[in-house]
Chain A
Amino acid sequence: MAEPEITPELMRISWGPQHPMSGQTRILLDTDGEKVHRIIADLGFTHRGIEKVLENRSLIGGIVPIDRMAMVDTANISIGYVTAAEKALGLEVPERANWIRSLVCEMSRINSHLYAFGLQAEATGYFPAVFLWTTIDREILLDLFEELTGARWSFNFFLPGGVYKDFPEGFADRVVEGVNYLRNRFKDYWNAMIENPMFEMRCDNVAILEPKDALRLGATGPVLRGSGIPVDMRNEEPYAAYADLDWEIITEDACDVMARTKVRFHEIGQSLNMMEQIAKEIPEGEIKTRFSPFARAPEGEHISRVENGRGEMSTHLWTNGTPNPYRVKILPPSLRNMYVFERLAELSHITVADIPVVINSIDPWYLDADR
């Protein structure tokens, strides 16, 4: 990126990509002492051209590379693509497969939120204790993933028209067990973080994003819901089994870093409830609709919208009767939220010390912003 001009009385700090907290991106900060006047995001360090890669693969083959967009949240990424692909192929999903999809998506969402939560703790300056606790608790979910799908990270579990495998024996019980364990752990997190006065000091009234600004700047996911606007793709366009599950959109009205953290926290609790409900009430039946692997999608265009851990991901799929998709446009949540982050310095008072806290409350996953 060509660096924009800087006024002479400010100091420009290059934050990342080699910085303990920056992740795989670079942010330029124009600072005056501790005050940040302007944030410039320099994305693209992990650009792999996934949209181009998808054009050169078959419709089914695209499931593998698209997982690489956000490794911590693979299920929610791939369900977006798979939903679009099965619309293109005209496949129906059996009900049981939908429930299994919801289970895996909710586990993935907890995984993603726990990661964000741990990073948030580290950003406020906890010695990485809470981050490691969340890492260890994610192990429970990874074990469940491994048992169900055969892989811990990038499991390519969803197929157009269903899922790859059914529950192993006794899996539902182990899901309930894991849910109960995690519920106990969340009391610890609540006490160690949300109710810690020093944590409140760091997060209350920091980086306030008014609802009108959140809408105008295109915020999505927990950032938008942290500003009190109830937009959630699981409710807007219920995919998988969300229409049958008991849940509601979680919003917080404080609009600050704490509100976003609390939204994530309550969403984890709600996802746990959903996991338990699915484990107990999952209907019996088929898990996939068979189709030919050489199936060609007729000409047309299809849009799927799903809710990732980080917000709305829309996949626009054009097909033209060949095995490959003609074009896939992915609108990732992190790209939208990074723009919000760029503008936040103008909307509220942000200091250098706030930057890691704010960026982790936005929780961008640079790999999915860059694609």
Chain B
Amino acid sequence: MSRKISLPDFISSFNEAQKEIVESVDVFEDTRASIKAKKDKIIEAAEVIRDDYGFVIPIGGGAIDYPEENRMEMNYYLNNPDSDFIIIYRIPVDREKPVLPSMTQVWEAMSFHERETHEMFGIDFEGHPNLVPLLLPPDWKGGYPLRKDFKGEGVE
């Protein structure tokens, strides 16, 4: 199998070319590139990742909650059939007002993952075509199960 893109090449080229939209690019575990975009350039950065670097396969998305730091973080996992690494595209979320632009406009298949994150973390994705609960029952009122302060109250 031919490998067209390797991680160091990608990091250097990406850092240089996308200075305006990208805040930081980190590497961990040798084969994972973690990208943080500037706050108002989230969609633009996503489109650049998809169109210019060929990360067309959406692996999925999920959030993580940091109640002590009063923030959450939305991660999108992206793959390119020609690369030997994956991208974790991180978007910080304000825990008080968890609203994000929906990534379904860039990667359509993030739909299910965003619906799941919506019900599990209470993050609202603006522009999602069908933001209804995916796994939880429609009458669920017990809070957001995967947040760290969830105590398992159940349905009221």
Question: A interface vs B, CB < 8 Å?
Answer: 1-2, 4, 43-44, 47, 49, 51-52, 87, 215-218, 229-231, 235-237, 249, 300-303, 305, 312, 314, 316, 318, 326-327, 329, 331, 335-336, 338-340, 370-371
Contact = CB atoms under 8 A, between A and B. Distances in A.
Contacts of B132: 1-2
Interface in B93-115: 107-109, 111-113
Interface of B: 1, 28-29, 31-32, 56-60, 62, 64-65, 75, 77, 79, 81, 84, 86, 88, 107-109, 111-113, 116, 130, 132-138, 145-146, 150
Given A44-B135, A301-B28, A336-B109, 12 more contacts: A2-B132, A44-B134, A218-B58, A218-B109, A229-B81, A249-B1, A305-B86, A314-B59, A314-B77, A329-B62, A335-B60, A336-B58
22 contacts: A1-B132, A43-B112, A43-B134, A44-B133, A44-B137, A51-B146, A87-B29, A216-B56, A216-B109, A218-B107, A231-B81, A235-B1, A237-B84, A300-B28, A303-B77, A305-B86, A316-B77, A329-B75, A331-B77, A335-B113, A338-B112, A370-B135
B31 A237 contact: yes
A336 B134 contact: no
Contacts of A4: 130
Given A44-B136, A44-B137, A314 B29 contact: no
A371 B136 CA distance: 11
A331 B138 contact: no
Contacts of A236: 84
Given A2-B138, A47-B135, A52 B145 contact: yes
Contacts of B136: 44, 47
Contacts of A314: 59-60, 77, 86
B66 to A, nearest CB: 9
A52 B137 CA distance: 17
Nearest to A46: B135
Contacts of A52: 145-146, 150
Given A314-B77, A338-B112, A218 B145 contact: no
A331 B60 contact: yes
A1 B84 CA distance: 38
A51 B86 CA distance: 22
A1 B60 CA distance: 21
Given A236-B84, A302-B29, A338-B112, A312 B134 contact: no
Contacts of A51: 146
A142 to B, nearest CB: 30
A370 B136 CA distance: 10
A200 to B, nearest CB: 30
A339 B31 contact: no
Contacts of B64: 318, 326-327, 329
B143 to A, nearest CB: 12
Contacts of B146: 51-52, 327
A331 B86 CA distance: 14
A297 B112 CA distance: 31
A340 B31 CA distance: 27
Closest 5 A/B residue pairs (Cβ): A218-B109, A331-B60, A44-B135, A329-B62, A47-B135
Nearest to A233: B79
B51 to A, nearest CB: 13
A85 B116 CA distance: 24
A163 to B, nearest CB: 23
